[in-house]
């Protein structure tokens, strides 16, 4: 699909810039010459301004994604990229659900009222996954989970998936309910996201005491360096650089001539954790005693062999299946990045005593 001239796309509003995925999107947008206006809560303002210095990056303080957003925030904005979302175990299910749905709709309504032309929303592949899916998962697939089922499950990952599913459904319902809707919407549904930290993220993390939660889903990779580490719930992934590229290309894409621009996507290969542990040991022999010694996970063939709709992704963004980064490079680049941060922590006098499992309960 032909892309729009970059001259038309100068100002992009971004939520979640202080996070793993959002930070990569911010960096890529800036590298491509865009002006980035980040919406952030008070506790993130200083770190964002210190990380992204320059005249093409602004930070606008907001108290809450669900709260009042002044219309002036959206003036002169060509596109909105909405990444911010509560992660599993960071808040109760009811709070996660409210922030995910109400926050997304709040941003979308304000952007629509201001005449913003593009809206890109970061969903989750879990919003398309269901037991009967396959052999290829597409933008027509939806997770049928309900609020009641998610609440009764007591499983924080299931509940997170439910919030992403219901929030994305709310976004598309808003589009359908407004027949005069002329904003171009793309939703991107990634699986687990791995990859090296940006320069800004590395510098920010290196200057303070270990903040494992800031590693986001890279904490699953860090758990490969813990004897009792936790393996991910499934082996499908996407490199964070590829995911950032998809978001930016979605901003540049032409409106769809048919169907929704709903991209369920992952790297073509699944992670082989036995192979990854061997690669780590060969590259960093001194880490041998640290490597995860738990029994290797056995994943279902259905998820191992699941195909994704690469044709639709290429139609919308131009990114071909062959261009996605493979598991080996992604995991090795991630470990290299994590070891760099770990070394900085140690040089600053901090002990890396025990790497925690991802998404430990914080409430």
Per-domain boundaries in the chain: 6-196+236-269+301-325
Confidence band for 256, pLDDT divided at 50, 70 and 90: confident
Residue 343 has pLDDT above 70, yes or no: yes
How much is the pLDDT for 4? 58
What is residue 267's DSSP assignment?
Answer: -
How many whole angstroms from its chain centre is CA 98? 19
Residue 155 has pLDDT above 70, yes or no: yes
Residues 239 and 325: beta-carbon distance below 8 Å: yes
Confidence band for 45, pLDDT divided at 50, 70 and 90: very high
Q: Which of 137, 75, 127, 128 is nearest to 104 (CA)?
A: 127
How much is the pLDDT for 261? 98
How much is the pLDDT for 134? 80
How much is the pLDDT for 363? 42
Q: What is the mean pLDDT of the chain?
A: 94
Q: Is 193 helix (H, G, I), strand (E, B) or coil?
A: strand
Provide mean pLDDT across the span 255-282: 96
Q: Which residues pair with 87 in a beta bridge?
A: none
How much is the pLDDT for 61? 95
How far is Cα 85 from Cα 167, in angstroms, rounded to an integer? Answer: 10
% the chain with pLDDT above 90:
86
For residue 135, whether the previous peptide bond is cis, meaning omega lies within 30 degrees of 0, is yes
How far is Cα 60 from Cα 52, in angstroms, rounded to an integer? Answer: 13
pLDDT, tens digit, for every residue of 49-75?
999 988 899 999 998 899 889 989 999
Residues 217 and 20: beta-carbon distance below 8 Å: yes
Least confident of 66-70, 148-152, 165-169, 249-253: 66-70
Residues 121 and 104: beta-carbon distance below 8 Å: yes
**In b/e form, how buried is each residue of 193-215, taking b as 16+ CB within 10 angstroms?**
bbbbbbebbbebbbeeebebebb
Task: Name every residue whose Cβ is closer than 8 Å to that of residue 267 and which is 6 or more positions away in sequence.
Answer: 236, 237, 238, 239, 242, 324, 325, 326, 327, 330
The residue ranking higher by pLDDT, 195 or 4, is: 195
How far is Cα 290 from Cα 287, in angstroms, rounded to an integer? Answer: 5
- pTM for this model (two decimals): 0.95
**How big is the chain by its Cα radius of gyration, in Å?**
20
How far is Cα 15 from Cα 26, in angstroms, rounded to an integer? Answer: 10
pLDDT, tens digit, for every residue of 175-223?
999 988 899 999 999 999 999 999 999 999 999 999 999 999 999 999 9
How much is the pLDDT for 258? 83
Encoded tokens for 269: 């290969």
Element (H, E) at 189: strand 184-189
CA dist list (Å): 206 to 18, 200, 345: 15, 10, 6
pLDDT, tens digit, for every residue of 98-144?
999 999 999 999 999 999 999 999 999 999 998 777 899 999 999 99
User: CATH assignment of 6-196+236-269+301-325?
Assistant: 3.40.50.720
Q: Which of 193, 139, 192, 194 is nearest to 168 (CA)?
A: 139
Strand-pair category, 261-264 with 237-239 = unpaired
């Amino acid at each position: 699909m032909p892309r729009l001239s970059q001259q038309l796309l100068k100002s992009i509003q971004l939520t979640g810039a202080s996070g793993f995925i959002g930070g990569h999107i911010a960096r890529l947008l800036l590298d491509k010459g865009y002006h980035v206006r980040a919406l952030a809560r008070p506790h993130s303002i200083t770190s964002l301004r210190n990380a992204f210095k320059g005249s093409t990056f602004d930070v606008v303080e907001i108290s809450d994604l669900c709260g009042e957003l002044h219309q002036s925030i959206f003036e002169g904005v060509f596109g909105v990229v909405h990444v911010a979302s509560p992660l599993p175990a960071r808040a109760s299910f009811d709070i996660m659900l409210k922030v995910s749905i109400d926050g997304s709709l709040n941003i979308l309504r304000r952007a629509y009222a201001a005449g913003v032309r593009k809206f890109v929303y970061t969903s989750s592949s879990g919003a398309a996954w269901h037991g009967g899916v396959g052999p290829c998962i597409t933008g027509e697939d939806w997770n049928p989970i309900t609020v009641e089922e998610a609440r009764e499950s007591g499983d924080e990952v299931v509940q997170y998936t439910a919030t992403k599913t219901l929030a994305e459904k709310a976004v598309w319902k808003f589009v359908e309910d407004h027949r005069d809707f002329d904003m171009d919407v793309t939703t991107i549904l990634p699986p687990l996201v791995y990859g090296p930290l940006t320069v800004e993220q590395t510098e920010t993390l290196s200057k303070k005491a270990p903040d494992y939660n800031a590693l986001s889903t890279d904490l699953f990779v860090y758990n490969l360096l813990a004897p009792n580490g936790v393996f991910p719930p499934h082996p499908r992934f996407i490199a964070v650089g590829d995911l950032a590229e998809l978001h930016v290309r979605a901003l540049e894409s032409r409106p769809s001539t048919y169907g929704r621009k709903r991209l369920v996507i992952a790297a073509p290969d699944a992670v082989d954790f036995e192979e990854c542990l061997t690669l780590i040991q060969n590259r960093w022999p001194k880490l041998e005693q640290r490597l995860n010694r738990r029994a290797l996970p056995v994943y279902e063939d259905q998820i191992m062999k699941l195909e994704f709709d690469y044709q639709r992704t290429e139609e919308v963004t131009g990114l071909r299946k062959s261009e996605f980064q493979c598991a080996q490079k992604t995991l090795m680049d991630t470990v290299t990045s994590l070891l760099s941060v770990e070394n900085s922590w140690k040089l600053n006098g901090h002990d890396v005593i025990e790497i925690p499992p991802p998404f430990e309960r914080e409430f």
